[in-house]
Amino acid sequence: MCGIVGYVGSKDALPILLESLKKLEYRGYDSSGVGFLDHDAHLIIRKAKGKIRNLEELIRSRPLPFACAGISHTRWATHGFPSDKNAHPHTDNKHTIAVVHNGIIENYQDLKAALKKKGCKFVSETDSEVIPHLIASFYKGDLLTAVRHAIAKLKGTFALGIISRDHPGMLIAARVGSPLIVGIGEHENFIASDVPAILDFTRRVIYLKDGQMAVLTRDKVELSTFDGKKVTPKIDTVSFNVVAARKEGYPYFMLKEIHEQPDVLKQMLSLRLKNKRLALEGLGLSDDILRRTRKVMVVACGTAYHAGLVGKYIIENLARLPVEVDTSSEFRYRNPIIDKHTLVLAVSQSGETADTLAASREARAKGAKVIAICNVVGSSLAREADGILYTYAGQEIGVASTKAYTAQLMMFYLVALKLAQARKSLSPKASKDLMAQLLRIPSLCTEILKDMHNIKKIAETNSHFGCFLFLGRHVNFPSAMEGALKLKEISYIPAEGYAAGEMKHGPIALIDEYRAVVCINPQSHVYEKMSSNMQEIRARRGNVIAIATRGDREIKSNADFVIEIPATPELLSPLLVALPLQMLAYFIAVKRGCDVDQPRNLAKSVTVE
């Protein structure tokens, strides 16, 4: 993971590096650092454990000279603890070359052993530190050649930013597997892990491809392949804007994003259901292709995977097409059976998740059409897919996905409707009714948010439990998994999401008076079955928090606490159920004093395998 930024130009590099780096904190925040060259070509490095604000404080306390070129890095630890010494940039022993790295060097142990034999002293536990030593070992005055030789030895993934004391006005970049862009400015040039990081400075960007490197000076950018072939750069002008998100009075971004859901869904529907007609142009597939589709395959990670699991119920139900759902990391290594008649939906908020990118490449290589369901405009996944359906949920800052999840769910309803219409598996009336029900969802979400104080009370009352189970059936089985993920990622409480029917096959052994069990049981064809499971839990003294349809009197006799949601057709209920689950996790985490927006060990975007 990690985020990198580099600058070379006529302005002071340091403030630019720090400002841009803060926009990459979603990629990791366990330590950060800058390395730059002042006017006398001194290589100065500053690093600090923790968030970028720690690095800023360090720099404030020991002000630094004007710098014309530099590199910066925000880290998500893969090899070695989060610490000052493991933070980037890393240097060679002569302190001549500094490197920032995003990715994983898989053969670093062999390289390290060989470099040690040659006398190199390593100061960190990272895989990345081999890179400056390796470059230095090849360096005979020509930095570019030394970098080429070093890169030829690396196995794994990398996006690199490299500066050297001997080449004060030069910045070298290279990539394999990890994203990296070059920004073209006026008498200044940039590199960054993504576009928004440098949008305040330039809109002209080059998307580096795997196997390409760039040499940047103040007035020039030269591209080549690793083996030295010149590449003519393709410069894109970025048209989208990224408005800096603000908390607007909310204590955390997560709470703000939870509250944004009615508007996000409303806006999505107004864009995608024009005059009750589906507007999914980005799909780019004719009705004929949709009719000939034999299977849908969803690939995604984490919360997006849970959205995909709900999507399976939706698409199978409405379009009567078989749907397989796989975590991207499993999909790509299991030799999946797909062909040109398979429609692959790659779901990702960020569009930068390494496994989902790799899975969609694998699917395309096998001849399938890949449609991305993605939130971040212009992301790698969006650029690479055959079709793109943006969820337009707006920037999501909280590491725990909330509004992006419900927007992904909504997109699944719309895609299922599209498939159903093309395949005529749904009558025009049923299709119209479903659209009408979908249009009600935003205002039903608003109603749920009004119950926030009740949910907060229930959350706080149960925040002492050391273990939670989340149970659901049918379309709300994935909701249970998502509820558990939300809780564990922001409160660190062990939590599991299960299909309620599976409980007696093992998990029921966990139940006693020290467990809290969230039972998702809105009105549905599995209501009675779920109610029986709730009784089984209570018979074993488990504490039951039920999520049920408003007006359900029976539920009270099966639960210790009840959170009500408005009535909606069973198939649409995950859209509503998501909100109380998010709020439960949020208020429990806040009560336990956790950093809700930036939980430990996590990053918003997982850019390594």
Residues that bind ligand AGP (CB under 6 A): 301-304, 348-350, 353, 356, 399-401, 489, 605-606
Helix, coil or strand: residue 91: strand
Token look-up 């944004």 returns: 260
Torsion (CA) 529, 298, 571, 519 in degrees, nearest 10: 40
Across the chain, which distance is largest between two alpha carbons, in Å? 80
Residue 81 CB, shortest distance to ligand AGP, in Å, is: 22
* Catalytic-residue membership of 120: no
Q: How far is CA 402 from the centre of its chain?
A: 12
Closest to ligand AGP by CB, 557 or 601: 601
CB 59 to ligand AGP: min, Å: 30
For ligand AGP, the closer of residues 350 and 558 by Cβ is 350
Q: Are 555 and 521 in contact (CB under 8 A)?
A: yes
Angle between helices 403-423 and 428-450 (to 10 degrees): 170
- Taking residue 235's Cβ as centre, other Cβ atoms within 10 Å add up to 12
Write down the catalytic residue from 2, 68, 301, 445: 2
Cβ–Cβ under 8 Å, residues 558 and 544: yes
> Closer to ligand AGP at the Cβ: 127 or 489?
489
Please state the closest distance from residue 165 (CB atom) to ligand AGP, in A. Answer: 38
**Rg of the chain in Å (alpha carbons):** 26
DSSP E strand boundaries for 185-274: 188-192, 204-207, 212-216, 221-225, 230-231, 236-237, 273-274
Q: Which is nearer to ligand AGP, 475 or 484 (CB)?
A: 484
145: tokens are 């050649």
CA distance 366 to 295: 14
| CA dist., res. 203 & res. 402, Å (int) | 29
Minimum CB separation of residue 486 from ligand AGP in Å reads: 6
Q: How far is the CB of 350 from ligand AGP (least distance, A)?
A: 3
Comparing CB distances to ligand AGP, the nearer of 447 and 595 is 595
* In the complex, minimum distance from the CB of residue 209 to ligand AGP, in angstroms, rounded to a whole number: 21
Q: Residue 575 and residue 514: Cα distance in Å, rounded?
A: 30
144 vs 177: CA distance, rounded Å = 20
Joined tokens for residue 253: 């971004």
| Pure H helices in 284-374 | 287-292, 302-319, 328-331, 354-365
| Torsion sign across C-alpha atoms 530, 531, 532, 536 | positive
Identity of the residue, 66 or 333, whose beta carbon is nearer to ligand AGP in the bound complex: 333
User: Is 2 assigned a catalytic role?
Assistant: yes
Task: Report, in Å, the least distance between residue 374 CB and ligand AGP.
Answer: 8
Write down the least CB distance from residue 291 to ligand AGP, Å.
Answer: 30
Helices (H), 451-555: 452-461, 477-491, 527-539
Torsion of CA 246, 247, 252, 256, to 10 degrees: -100
> Angle at CA 93, nearest 5°, toward 68 and 37?
5
Q: Which is nearer to ligand AGP, 301 or 455 (CB)?
A: 301
Pick the catalytic residue: 22, 312, 488, 604?
604
Separation between Cα atoms, residue 193 and residue 351, nearest integer Å: 13
In the complex, the smallest distance separating the C-beta of residue 302 from ligand AGP, rounded to whole angstroms, is 2
- Residue placing its CB nearer to ligand AGP in the complex, 462 or 598: 598
Burial of 86 (0-12, 13-18, 19+ CB in 10 A): buried
CB of 359 to ligand AGP, least distance (A): 11
Contact 315, 416 (CB under 8 A): yes
Measured from each CB, the residue nearest to ligand AGP is: 302
Question: Is the separation of the CB atoms in 385 and 345 below 8 Å?
Answer: no
**DSSP state, 24?**
T
Residue 349 or 521: the one with the smaller Cβ distance to ligand AGP is: 349
Nearer to ligand AGP, 173 or 400 (CB): 400
The set of catalytic residues is 2, 604
